Every structure is written in C-alpha cells, then in structure tokens.
C-alpha cells in the first residue's frame, strides 16, 4: 500500500500520542521472525545476495552448527568481494574467538572484538561490566535484522546444554529508510571496538596520535539518528513507522527505558511484555502499576525455566508488589525464555536486545526496533498469546510476606546497586 497523501499523512500521525510519533520513520517493511529457525535462513539468503557490504554485530557468536552456517555465509560474501564486518562482544563470544579469527582470516572478512578479555588485567577493569549486547545485521543498506537472537543454536544453552524445545526469542527484518540507521550503529560499533576500552582515553590517544578524531566522533553524532526521509524512486512501501532506539553510555543512556515508560503510560487497553530478566527501576514499575489501576490489562511473561537463579530471584522479589497492583504474571516453562518484546494496545510493538534490568537499562549497549503498525503488532501479540497459553500463571508470590521477603528484596536491591557502582554508575537504581 503506498504512503498516504501529504494532507492525510499529517492527520494519520496526529492520531498517535505525541511521544509515540517521535523518532519514527515511515515507508518501511517490517517482518517478524521467531527464533533462529526463521532468522538464520533469512539472514543467510540476504548475505548470499549481498553486493556491497555486510555488517553484523552480536553478543554471542557460537561455534555450533548455526554459527558455522552464518560464518560460512560471511566467508562466501567476502570471497565475492563484499566488504564483511563482524563485531562480537569479548565476553559473550570469548570461547569462540579462536575459531572465529581462524575462519574469517582465511576469507578476508574483518573481525572486531568489543572489550576483549585477552589479558588477565582486562578482567579487573570496571568498564568490562559494560558489554555490547546488540544483535543487529545489515546487508547492502537494503535489509536489516534487529532483535534478541544471538548466533547460537535455538536448542542449545551455553550453561545447560541441549534442550528439547527451542528458546523463545524474536527478531524483526526491516526494509526501507530505517535500515540506514541500523547500518550507522553497526559501523560505529566497529569503530568503537577498534578504539579500545575507555571512551575518554580512546579520544585522548587519538588526539595524541594525530588520527582523524573528528571522523570517529561523527560516527557517534550520526547515531542521534536523524531519519533519512528520502525514499527510493518508484518503490511503493507500506507506511509502516519504525523507530530504531539505541541505548549507549553517552547521549542516550535511558532511551529504551523511556520508550517503554511512554508507551505504558499512554496505554488504554492492553500491555503485554515478555522479558527473561525483569528488575525495573521504580519509575518503570509505577507506570506499569498505574496502567493496571486505570483498567489496562497488563500481562508479564517471565522465565519459568530458570537459567540464572539470581536473575530469577530479582524478578520474583517484585511479584508481591505487581500482583497486588493488578498485574498478571506468567512463567514460561516449555523452554528457556530469551525474548525481549512488548505490545501495547495492538498498535505499538518493540523487538530488541534490551532486558528490563540494570545491566540492559544502564550499562550494556542495546538496540530495539519499535514498530507502529497494527498488522505487525497483531502478529507479535498472537505469538505472545501462544506463549502465555503455554505458561503457568502466578496466583500468589513465590516468596511469602514477612521478614524473608523483605530480606530477599533488600539483598537484590543492594546487589544491583553494588554492581552499578563497581561499573562506575552513580546514584541508586
């Protein structure tokens, strides 16, 4: 369907809440992908058709069948003369780095490691607690993939081994003007990984060496993501609005959290959130509870099959407060939950890498795609409805009220704030 005529376009955008229209770019296609079973074939097909450049940034790139398949696609592209750039996190992909380096060196693809841990002294640096948690891929500035899916087999967990059912996770395939923004991020991540560990010392070292500091800084200025408004001539795209929201430790430290809070505050009918690691700040919790009080149906999908016990405890110490406020909580038990998605009022949807916890909201580098489209939101809500139906609803808090509950909540709060202080954050979470 073509873009609405200019006189109708302003009217259509006026229907959105003011905060929802901010940063959205129209004229995009957005396709929901569930798990690596849907993402990896689409990504591989796009890489095999690449003509100019492939940019891929991921937290985990594992040496298994899925990782080997994507690595082979990257090498095929590189051998055809395509410029291939891969950025991985030094902690998340630590075990696979020797294999990755050897594999990509043979075919000439470029590999950059964000905050590498190749020296024992690196483990002692507080900045190492801030990781690259993105999962983004861009091919030829034509198609981008954004979501929460690592380059890792759906039926394998790094800590628990093989699983019978695939983990629940999502990504979105994007086409249109917003793809340029995703490429700008991937390009900047590569530059950041090459610069080193600490931003201030990185810039100082560049200045002393006489290298083009301005060019590097411009990459980060580009990430203010002023949307390119021009559209390819003759291309008719659905007027799907997409906002590419990046969280970093510079100008957009609370960008993703703010998007969530704004959407929940504007909700009128329904809020569905799926997140494995859920320990939000007070402002986030208040927005969720306020929505429930005014009659909005609020459902949270949490992990029932636990991968990290401390993360599960952090979420469960909040159950009493949330349940008492009218929020419905479900624990997903068929498989591991890794999805970081939400749907509000069947029109606003987000798919991305950001959990709703201190690490994602204040430390890690994250990226979410926010889609303002009824069809896309309806499809994601349908997938979430299936997950809710397969889950167990929590009828009462797992931690009984009393001193044990108070002690558990205090311990989690103390630990979260200690972690943030070690990482260099000030103030309380």
Predicted TM-score (pTM) of the model is 0.84
How remote is the C-alpha of 243 from its chain's centroid?
13
pLDDT of residue 238: 59
Q: Which of 133, 134, 305, 373 is catalytic?
A: 133
Q: Could you give the CA distance from residue 133 to residue 414 in angstroms, rounded to a whole number?
A: 24
Let me know if 198 is a catalytic residue: no
Three-state secondary structure call for residue 372: strand
pLDDT of residue 398: 65
Q: Could you give the CA distance from residue 321 to residue 166 in angstroms, rounded to a whole number?
A: 31
By residue range, what is the domain housing residue 290? 242-429
pLDDT of residue 412: 67
Q: Which of 64, 69, 140, 157 is catalytic?
A: 140
Let me know if 338 is a catalytic residue: yes
pLDDT one-digit tens code per residue, 225-240: 433 333 333 344 557 9
Domain of residue 72, CATH code: 3.30.870.10
Q: What pairs with residue 329 in β-bridges? A: 300
User: Do 217 and 335 fall into the same domain?
Assistant: no
Q: Could you give the CA distance from residue 71 to residue 77 in angstroms, rounded to a whole number?
A: 10
pLDDT one-digit tens code per residue, 69-79: 999 999 999 99
User: Do 189 and 272 fall into the same domain?
Assistant: no
Q: Could you give the CA distance from residue 123 to residue 108 in angstroms, rounded to a whole number?
A: 30
Q: Is residue 262 included in any domain, yes or no?
A: yes
User: Do 134 and 100 fall into the same domain?
Assistant: yes
Q: Which of 62, 85, 134, 340 is catalytic?
A: 340
Let me know if 340 is a catalytic residue: yes
Least confident stretch, 144-148, 264-268, 375-379, 405-409 = 405-409
User: Do 144 and 293 fall into the same domain?
Assistant: no
Q: Could you give the CA distance from residue 377 to residue 350 in angstroms, rounded to a whole number?
A: 9
pLDDT of residue 359 exceeding 70, the answer is yes
Nearest 5°: phi and psi at 304? -105, -30
Q: Is residue 159 included in any domain, yes or no?
A: yes
User: Do 299 and 407 fall into the same domain?
Assistant: yes
pLDDT of residue 90 exceeding 70, the answer is yes
Q: H-helix or E-strand containing 73?
A: helix 65-79
CA distances from residue 135 to 112, 182, 250, 356 in whole angstroms, order as listed: 15, 11, 20, 16
What is the mean predicted confidence (pLDDT) over 289-296? 97
What is the mean predicted confidence (pLDDT) over 174-197? 89
User: Do 185 and 248 fall into the same domain?
Assistant: no
Q: Is residue 97 included in any domain, yes or no?
A: yes
Q: Is residue 264 included in any domain, yes or no?
A: yes
Q: H-helix or E-strand containing 341?
A: strand 341-344
Q: Where does residue 228 rank: exposed (0-12), middle (13-18), buried (19+ CB within 10 A)?
A: middle
Q: Is residue 165 included in any domain, yes or no?
A: yes
Let me know if 133 is a catalytic residue: yes
User: Do 266 and 121 fall into the same domain?
Assistant: no
Residues in the chain: 429
Per the CB < 8 A criterion, the answer to whether 276 and 387 are in contact is: no
Let me know if 112 is a catalytic residue: no
Q: Is residue 3 included in any domain, yes or no?
A: no
pLDDT of residue 151 exceeding 90, the answer is yes
pLDDT of residue 405 exceeding 80, the answer is no
Q: Is residue 317 included in any domain, yes or no?
A: yes
User: Do 334 and 417 fall into the same domain?
Assistant: yes
pLDDT of residue 252: 81
Q: Is residue 5 included in any domain, yes or no?
A: no
Let me know if 309 is a catalytic residue: no
User: Do 179 and 252 fall into the same domain?
Assistant: no
Last residue of a domain, one of 195, 229, 263: 229
pLDDT of residue 105: 95
Place of tokens 């992908």: 33
User: Do 225 and 247 fall into the same domain?
Assistant: no
Q: Which of 135, 153, 305, 373 is catalytic?
A: 135
Q: How many structural domains is the chain composed of?
A: 2
User: Do 329 and 378 fall into the same domain?
Assistant: yes
Least confident stretch, 74-83, 84-93, 127-136, 266-275 = 127-136
Q: Which of 89, 345, 357, 373 is catalytic?
A: 345
Last residue of a domain, one of 205, 229, 253: 229
């Amino acid at each position: 369907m073509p873009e609405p005529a200019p006189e109708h376009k302003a009217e259509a955008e006026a229907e959105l809440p003011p905060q929802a229209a901010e940063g959205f770019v129209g004229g995009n296609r957005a396709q929901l992908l569930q798990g690596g079973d849907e993402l990896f074939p689409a990504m591989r097909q796009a890489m095999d058709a690449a003509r100019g450049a492939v940019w891929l940034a991921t937290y985990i790139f594992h040496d298994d069948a899925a990782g080997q398949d994507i690595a082979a696609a990257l090498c095929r592209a590189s051998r055809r003369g395509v410029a291939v750039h891969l950025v991985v996190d030094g902690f998340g992909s630590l075990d696979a780095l020797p294999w990755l380096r050897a594999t990509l060196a043979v075919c000439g693809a470029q590999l950059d490691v964000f905050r590498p841990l190749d020296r024992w002294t690196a483990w002692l640096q507080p900045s190492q607690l801030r990781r690259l948690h993105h999962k983004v891929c861009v091919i030829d500035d034509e198609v981008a993939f954004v979501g929460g899916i690592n380059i890792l087999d759906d039926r394998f967990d790094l800590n628990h081994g093989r699983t019978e059912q695939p983990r629940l996770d999502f990504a979105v395939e994007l086409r249109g003007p917003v793809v340029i923004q995703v490429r700008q991020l991937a390009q900047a991540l590569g530059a950041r990984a090459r610069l080193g560990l600490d931003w201030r010392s990185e810039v100082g070292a560049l200045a002393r060496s006489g290298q083009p500091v301005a060019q590097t800084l411009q990459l980060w200025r580009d990430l203010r993501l002023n949307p390119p408004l021009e559209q390819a001539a003759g291309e008719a795209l659905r007027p799907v609005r997409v906002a590419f929201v990046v969280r970093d430790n510079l100008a957009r430290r609370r960008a993703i959290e703010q998007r969530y809070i704004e959407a929940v505050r504007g909700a009128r009918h329904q809020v569905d959130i799926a997140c494995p690691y859920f320990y939000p700040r007070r402002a986030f919790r208040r927005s969720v509870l306020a929505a429930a009080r005014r009659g909005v149906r609020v459902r949270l999908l949490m992990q029932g099959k636990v991968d990290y016990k401390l993360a599960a405890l952090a979420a469960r110490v909040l159950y009493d407060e949330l349940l008492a406020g009218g929020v419905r909580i479900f624990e997903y038990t068929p498989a591991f939950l890794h999805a970081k998605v939400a749907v509000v009022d069947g029109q606003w949807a987000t798919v991305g890498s950001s959990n709703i916890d201190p690490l994602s909201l204040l430390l890690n580098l994250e990226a979410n795609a926010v889609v303002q489209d009824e069809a896309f939101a309806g499809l994601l809500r349908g997938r979430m409805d299936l997950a809710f139906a397969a889950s167990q609803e929590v009828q009462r808090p797992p931690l009984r009220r009393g001193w044990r509950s108070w002690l558990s909540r205090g311990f989690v709060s103390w630990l979260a704030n200690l972690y943030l202080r070690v990482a260099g954050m000030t103030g309380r979470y």
